[in-house]
Amino acid sequence: MNINEHFDVIIIGTGAGGGTLAYRLAPTGKKILVLERGDFLPREKDNWNALEVYQKERYHANEEWYDKNGAGFRPQTGYWVGGNTKLYGAALLRLRERDFEQVVHKGGISPAWELKYSDFEPYYT
């Protein structure tokens, strides 16, 4: 790629948003560049092992992030082609009312959402 090359659209990341956008824009004839930090998820037996994937966080980034107060935490994120959708197992479970409330935990406080369960409830099937 030439550093002076022009693109009509630059998409950063191939997760749910970036991948969908690239798919929709591909047939338009626009010159599209998709930037992805990650690699393809390796094809290995542990991809199907819930203990490895979810409890041992095999494919999560080994990073520590910091909240606004400087407290460290490990986000559940990974850098792969397909983004974090690779770890969702093609399922997004219905949240509960309490999932939108403030949570006090060992690592600090996760604030309550501005939106509530009742805002989403009409759209659940």
Name the residue ranges covered by the structural domains of the chain: 1-36, 42-92, 93-125
Q: What pLDDT sits at residue 10?
A: 96
Whether the per-residue pLDDT at 31 is higher than 70: the answer is yes
Q: Which of 37, 48, 124, 38 is nearest to 87 (CA)?
A: 48
Best-predicted range by mean pLDDT among 32-36, 75-79, 102-106? 32-36
**Residue pLDDT, tens place only, 32-72:** 999 998 899 889 999 888 898 888 888 888 888 888 888 88
Quickly state the pLDDT bin for 97 (edges 50, 70, 90): very high
- Whether the CB-CB separation of 92 and 84 falls below 8 Å is answered with no
CA 113 to chain centre: 18
Closest of 63, 6, 71, 60 to residue 33, by C-alpha: 6
